[in-house]
Each structure stands twice: as structure tokens, then as C-alpha cells.
Amino acid sequence: MENTARITEKRTATAWKKPVSYNLQKKTRPTEAIIQAFLLFCGVVSILTTLGIVLELGKEAWLFFGDPEISVISFLTGTEWQPKIGKFGVLPLLNSTLITSVIAIVVALPLGIATAMFLSEYASPKMRSILKPILEVLAGVPTVVYGYFALTFMTPLLRGIFGSQNVDVYNMASAGLVMGIMILPLISSMSEDALSAVPRSLREAAYGLGATRLETALQVVLPAALSGIIAAFIIGVSRAVGETMIVAIAAGSGPNFTFNPFNAAETMTGYIARISGGDLSYNTPDYNSIFAIGLLLFLITFGLNILSRAISRRFREVYE
Amino acid sequence: MEDMNQPSKYVIETRGLNIFYGDFQAVKDISLQFERNRITAIIGPSGCGKSTVLRAFNRMNDFVPSAHATGEVLYHDQNINHPSVDAVQLRRLIGMVFQKPNPFPKSIYDNIAWGAKMNGFRGNTDDLVEETLRQAALWNEVKDNLKKSALALSGGQQQRLCIARALAVRPEIILMDEPCSALDPIATLKIEDLMRELSQNYTIIIVTHNMQQAARASDYTSFFTMDTDRAGIMVEYNETSLIFTKPKDQRTEDYITGRFG
């Protein structure tokens, strides 16, 4: 009793008195509810948008494939894309998309991982604080600028090296190389995150056994960061496959089926960009074909995303 | 020059060692000798620079950009703080076991084989793995699962694997930085027994928070504390039995009787 009295006295002595209520009945807290509803709404909007895009693509693609003269098989296996004479074989477009993307990845992956490795394992904090913003600037350049960079810098360079009779004015190599420069910051920054996330204790374990910096970086840190690097690689590929402006400007505008990267060949995205800018009437097979291509592109990037998720999940929990 | 047939009694010796992090002096004027094939414990309150000193012995502080050391750490008549010393080679001779078990995310087998191969081991790896796992008193628990990920082991097993991994590169000295602080008492006792076993062939220097551990497991004990600038200083260094029964310094007595730290 005496104790309680003293505590009460102490309480009243301070300016603030805590309102005590023993009513444990559930209360409604309107602000909480409103904010929660708003957040849910934002999430739902993005899901609905995605669904809407898929539905629209699917609907128009359905119209395209509904044409009795066009079949999914001939679309996927045909080697000629001549809408004027009713030939809708997507392989030439797909082929040049793949070639430009492969060139881009061949440039961006090794350079990106090397950059990431340098930033995470070798660079001093000062060096990193200079290099990272520069890389981020590279990521912020509009792709149309990259497109003209390919056309007015990379193409003349390639023509100078390999001879202008061998290299077309519009060509896949130039577009692919510049696309590689474009996705380089993406790959290097994602890989750097993956490398930096490897616990310091693992590096110390390696150094403690007498490993050099290179041995530690290549044989301990890199394998431990592999899942993140694979994810970076796949996102880089999706980015390259979906890139439009660079290839539209620099890769050419004829759907050629060629494996020579120095030739001009239109990519899927390049074709879509060109056609949508022209004056095609609605509901012609030409017009609908861009939705079929769009759907195919969507399926490719969607597949790559699923793959990247599966891979990161598989390799996660490698450390700690 | 040291005569290889009659190695000096002391395997590592510090003279006036100071270590700084930037402008902050973390440890001040440490002079210590570590006797061959003995276990020496470094005890003291948190922040007194025990780990910093231990990490100076294999130049692990090199990876802390702001850290630098003055004074001498003598190992085979060479001051290892000298810029001409190859820290990689040094770490092949002075192994380390860390506070938190840190096995590589590889198989048990590869955890041991990796460091040994890097150190030039070209013999039968199977034999080496078995031998070092036996030395680390882990063989019987893992012999059927050598290809299993090391991360599937318990904390105590992981720590013994880390010890085995360090043994596989044939160091002369093993530095242990609070190797049991993340382990339960049973795993801790296993590690302590193991240290006793290993001290026949290796020199062990252990940093520990746990006074009972120092009392149980070490031959020599060095007590560190902080001075008024919060720099670590060495207060007393003696045989473990004497430190714990007849400490000469009041600060040591306060610490081991639990009145401080």
C-alpha cells in the first residue's frame, strides 16, 4: 500500500499523466485503414495494368492468328516477313533481335562483372565514390541518344575497321555493341550489389588461409554471389531483347534473315516501332501482326523473368 | 640469425606495438612474447583492443583502410609490420579462426581442400581431409557426409570445420578470435579439449571474453584493459594459474573477481 502511494505521488509530480484505460475492446483506427486501403489500391493498379496489357496483346494477336491465311506454326517457323504479300514468318525479326542481344550481352556481361568486381573488391572508397556516379550517368542516357551514338560513332568506327564494303550503314553489330554499353551499368550495379552482399566473414576466411585478393574474389566471393549475378545477367538480356530505340535507329529497317552482324536487319521491336509510326488501317493483318510480335516479346521477357526468379531462389541461402 | 635446429622459445614477440584507427589509438605500447606450443589467452573487457592485437599478428588489419600499426611484431626475426613483408605468405604460416564460424558455402570436403591446394598441397586430398578432420575431432560426425554443404552443420561443428580448414594449410600458429562466443557450452568444451590437443604441435593464441575459458584452457594469460584515452593497454601477463590466483595488479584482480567489465 505504501509503495503504491509513493508511485502515484511520483506520477502526479510529472507534468504528463498517462491516460489509463482497461477497456480492451477492439478499436477502429481510421487512418490505419485508409493508408492500408491506399497501399492495396496501388498494388492492385499495377497488377491490373499488367493484366490489361496482356489482354490487349492477346486480343489483337487472336485477331491476327484468326486470319485463315495465317497459322501460329507458319508465324513461328517462316523465314520471310513480307506483310505486303502475306508472308508473316517471324524468324528474320526474331533472329536479328537475338543477334543484337547476344552481341550486347557479350559486351556487357564480362565488362559488367569485371567492373562490379573492381568496385566491390579492389576500389578504395574514394575511387568507388567517383566511379559509381559515372556509371549511373551512363544508365541515365536516353536510348535515342544511344541510337544516334551507334549510327554516327559506332558504325563509322566499324566501317573504318572492317571496311565499308563489308559493313552496312545500318547494321546489327553497331546496334548490339551500343546496346551492350547501355546495359553495362545495369549489370555492373546489380552484380556489385550481389558481390557486396557476400559477408565480410567469408572474405576474411579466405584471406586468413593465405588467399590473395584475386583468389578470394574469383574463388570465394564470385561463387557466393552467383545467384545475384545470374539474375543481373537475365535482366540484362530482357532489357536487350526489349530495347527499341537503338535498334530502330541503327540496325536497319528491312526484315532480312541474315546471320551476318554487319548486315542491316530489323528486329522485332524495331519493326513494331516502324509500323506503329506509319499509317496503317486498323484490323489489317499488317497492323495486327505487331501485336503478335509484341506478345512473343512479352512471352520471351516473361520467361526470362521467371527463369531469373527460379535461379535466384535455387541459389539463395548459399551463405549464412 | 635464428638457428633452425634450436628454435627460439618464443614464436612471436611484440615490442612497443601501437595500433591506430585513423587518429584513434586503439592499443598502446603492447610488448608480449608468445611461447612455442603453448596456449596463450588474451582477456579483457570489450573494446580493449584484444582482437585488434590478435589481428595484427597475421596482418588482418590490412583490410581495415584506416588501420595502421607502429612498433614491432617479430616473427622469425622479421618485423611483420614492415612494408616488405608479404602478408599472404604470412597468413599461410599463421592461421586464424574467427568469432563466428565462417565456413565457405561449399562442401565439407572442399572447405578443407581449397585452402590446402592454394597453399601448394599436391598429395592425396582424401587423406588430408580425413587427417585434419580427425585432428579437429570432427571426423566421426561427418565422415559419411563429406559432400554435404558445410552450412548444414551445427555451429559447433562449423567452428571445428574452420579449425580443420586452418590446420590443413599447416600453419605454425593458430590465432583464435573468441572462437566459442557463438557456441553452446558443450560445443565450447569440445573446442577447448581440441585446443589442448592441438597445442602439442601448434602455438595457439586465443582472445576470449570468457574468463573461465582462459582459466581452463590456457597456459599463459595476458590481461588487457583501457586507459583513460580508451586505448587498450596490457596490464599483466603471466602464467594462467598465477593470473587467476595471485594477480599482481589491482585492475586484474577487479576484473577476474567480476568487479569490473
Residue A83 DSSP label: G
CATH label of the domain that carries residue A264: 1.10.3720.10
Same domain, A113 and A259: yes
What is the least distance, in Å, from the CA of B240 to any CA of chain A? 28
How many Å apart are CA B28 and CA B19, to the nearest integer?
7
Pairing assessment for the beta strands B203-207 and B39-43 based on DSSP bridges: parallel
Residue with cell 552496312: A168
> C-alpha cell of A27?
478499436
In a domain? residue A117:
yes
Same domain, A55 and A190: no
Q: What pLDDT does A1 receive?
A: 45
Q: What pLDDT does B181 receive?
A: 87
In a domain? residue A9:
no
In a domain? residue A179:
yes
What is the least distance, in Å, from the CA of A215 to any CA of chain B? 9
Plot region of B170 (φ>0 → left; ψ -120 to 50 → alpha; else → beta): left
State which amino acid sits at residue B231.
A
Q: What is the pLDDT of residues A206-245, one digit of tens each?
A: 999 999 999 999 999 998 998 889 889 998 999 999 999 9
Residue A13: pLDDT band by 50, 70, 90 thresholds? low
Which residues have a Cβ under 8 Å from the Cβ of A52 and sit 6 or more positions away? none
- Find the residue in A nearest to B159 (Cα): A205
Nearest CB among A203, A208, A211 relative to B96 is that of A208
How many Å apart are CA A62 and CA A293, to the nearest integer?
12
Same domain, A107 and A248: yes
Same domain, A223 and A105: yes
In a domain? residue A13:
no
Between chains, do A201 and B166 touch, taking CB under 8 Å as contact? no
The total number of structural domains in chain A stands at 2
- Which residues on chain A are in Cβ contact (under 8 Å) with B60? 204, 207-208
Same domain, A195 and A277: yes
Contact of B98 with chain A, judged by CB distance below 8 Å, is answered with yes
For the question of whether the overall pTM of this predicted structure is more than 0.90, the answer is no
Residue A235's domain spans which residues? 81-315
Same domain, A55 and A156: no
Q: What pLDDT does A254 receive?
A: 83
Residue A67: pLDDT band by 50, 70, 90 thresholds? confident
- Which residues on chain A are in Cβ contact (under 8 Å) with B98? 201, 204-205, 208
Same domain, A66 and A87: no
- Which residues on chain A are in Cβ contact (under 8 Å) with B165? 205, 209
Tell me how many residue pairs between chain A and chain B have CB atoms under 8 A apart. Answer: 67
Residue-range domains of chain B with CATH: 10-103+173-256 (3.40.50.300)
Q: What is the pLDDT of residues A106-142, one digit of tens each?
A: 999 999 999 999 999 999 889 989 998 888 888 889 9
Share of chain B above pLDDT 90, in %: 75
Q: What pLDDT does B95 receive?
A: 94
Residue B51: pLDDT band by 50, 70, 90 thresholds? very high
> C-alpha cell of B12?
612471436
Q: What pLDDT does A315 receive?
A: 67
Same domain, A249 and A139: yes
- Please state the three-class secondary structure of A166-178 as a single string: CCCCCCHHHHHHH
Residue with cell 566501317: A159
> C-alpha cell of B183?
557456441
Q: What would the mean pLDDT of A14-35 be, rounded to a whole number?
A: 85
In a domain? residue A10:
no
Same domain, A46 and A137: no
Between chains, do A201 and B60 touch, taking CB under 8 Å as contact? no
In DSSP terms, B205 is beta-bridged to: B40, B175
Same domain, A101 and A201: yes
Q: Mutate which of B66, B98, B102, B175 to test chain A, going by most A C-beta atoms within 10 A? A: B102
Q: What is the pLDDT of residues A131-190, one digit of tens each?
A: 988 888 888 899 999 999 999 999 999 999 998 899 889 999 999 999 999 999 999 999
> C-alpha cell of A153?
560513332
